[in-house]
Structure 1
Amino acid sequence: MSIRSMWKTSNMKDIIIELLRRKKTMKDSELLKAIKMMYKDVSSREINKALMSLELNGLIRVSRMKKTTRNIEFVSSL
């Protein structure tokens, strides 16, 4: 993993936390749209990687609403 990709992932985690801190809960499509407004070249894979890391650290909770829709909610901050 390059330093540039580590920086982008870390920065994306901060953006996700800040967005969820304001709204408390978001659908994955809303989150993707908000992030794409800031980062034009972001991939779903990068977002999923950041979400997985945040969920494993206990900062967010991701649950499935429908077959293709996920609900992402803010749990706590560090």
Structure 2
Amino acid sequence: MRDDLTWAEFEADHGDPKAAVRHARAEYTRNPNLVAADALAWSLFKAGTPPRRPSPTPDTRPEQAGRTLY
């Protein structure tokens, strides 16, 4: 049984943040869910690497502000 999620959370808070990122990435690859994503984001933050922001969707671009899209 793999328990990368627990190790990721523990390492991020009390150990090696880079090891936490490895564990969190392994968990998220195996089981992409909200808890795994949160652990990965926290591990990346503790390791000094903030998570990448997704590219904006068409309705969130500044030029679309104030326009109703329905």
TM-score where L is the length of structure 2? 0.33
Instruction: Identify, as 1 or 2, the structure richer in helix.
Output: 2
TM-score where L is the length of structure 1? 0.31
Instruction: Identify, as 1 or 2, the structure richer in strand.
Output: 1
Q: Which has the larger radius of gyration?
A: 2
